[in-house]
Structure 1
Amino acid sequence: MARIPNTVGGGANTNFNGLRFEGRTDLLDAINLHLDYSIQNDNEVVKNGNIVAHYYEKYSLYKEYLTPNGVDYRTILSKRLLPDGALLVGNTMYIIEKKYQAGSGSVDEKLQTCDFKKKQYTKLFRPLNINVEYFYVLNDWFDNPRNNDVFEYIESVGCKYFIEDLPLEELGL
């Protein structure tokens, strides 16, 4: 039987499709394009000459923020969480997970983990008195009534989702 090429993501194309989507939804690029904000030192969000937020991705959240502030995740969580993006604004850490899908698959089910992950992040940041907001940025494949029950669940557990675009005002900026 001939192999059918994967055109919807997942499997061997997970990184290719996901990175392309994530490249279109880069938060620092979006902030830098905004007239009121700029980025300095790779992760500082600046407005009117003042640092208003700090941005972290994956391991940098630990290396550049948690560990220097005395938080050892191993004493709090069983596994390290690696966010696609984490933006600290005031005393709130906005966790941003980007999900790309172009056909039915496992990403659908991953959306249902937001409650657990938000609770885990809340435990992780509790020693620093940092509040947590958990957001999904989804590609337009998800913008379909077949996902309404999942979207209702996401909102019912205090998380949020956005299709293709995350408005900066949602991030306290």
Structure 2
Amino acid sequence: MAKKPNTVGGGARTNHNGLAFEGRTDLLEALNQHPDFTVMGNQVFRDGAIVAHYYEKHNLYKGFLEPSGVNYKSILSKKILPDGALLVGDTMYIIEKKYQAGSGSVDEKLQTCDFKKKQYVKLFTPLNIKVEYYYVLNDWFDKTEYNDVFEYIESVGCKYFIEELPFNEIGL
């Protein structure tokens, strides 16, 4: 039986489809294009003052947690890697980007936000940093069949956004 080509994402097509979506939803790029903000490295400035720091994946550990004296291995059994993490004041906004173009495993991944948020809360508690956990989803998810999942996401204190993340939701 011939293998059917994957045209919807996930599996071997994750990078092809996901990175294009992640490129369209690049938070630092969006902030840098906004007239009120300037981005230098991982720092976000407004009126010449640093208002936020941004980290992705392993850099959250190397660039923030380790220099702050936090050894994740003494807190978590396994490292968790955010697509994005924005520190604004005493709140870390964890931003997960999910792209889908057909039925697949991302549907079930959306239901893990409660666990992951609790893990991040444990990780940042030694630093007295609050955690907000957000999904940025592509428009595939803008369907009534996801209403139960969206209700669940909100019921456990997480949020979701379709195609965009308003700056006021991340403390800016």
TM-score, length-normalised on structure 2?
A: 0.99
Whole-Å separation in 1 of the counterparts to 2:6 and 2:84 = 27
Q: Could you say what secondary structure the match of 1:29 adopts?
A: helix
Deviation at 1:2, TM superposition (A): 2.3
Alignment correspondent of 1:5: 5
How many residue pairs get matched?
172
Q: Could you say what secondary structure the match of 1:70 adopts?
A: coil
Moved over 3 A (4+): none
Q: Give the counterpart letter for 1:34 in structure 2.
A: H
CA RMSD of aligned residues (A): 0.5
Q: How does 1:54-93 map to 2 (within 5 A)?
A: 54-93=53-92
Whole-Å separation in 1 of the counterparts to 2:2 and 2:131 = 48
Residues 1:110 and 2:115 aligned together: no
Deviation at 1:132, TM superposition (A): 0.1
Alignment correspondent of 1:154: 153
For structure 2, the 5+ residue unaligned runs are none
Q: How does 1:90-169 map to 2 (within 5 A)?
A: 90-169=89-168
Whole-Å separation in 1 of the counterparts to 2:127 and 2:3 = 51
TM-score, length-normalised on structure 1?
A: 0.98
Residues 1:33 and 2:33 aligned together: yes
**Percent identical:** 75
Q: Could you say what secondary structure the match of 1:137 adopts?
A: strand
Deviation at 1:4, TM superposition (A): 1.2
Whole-Å separation in 2 of the counterparts to 1:12 and 1:131 = 36
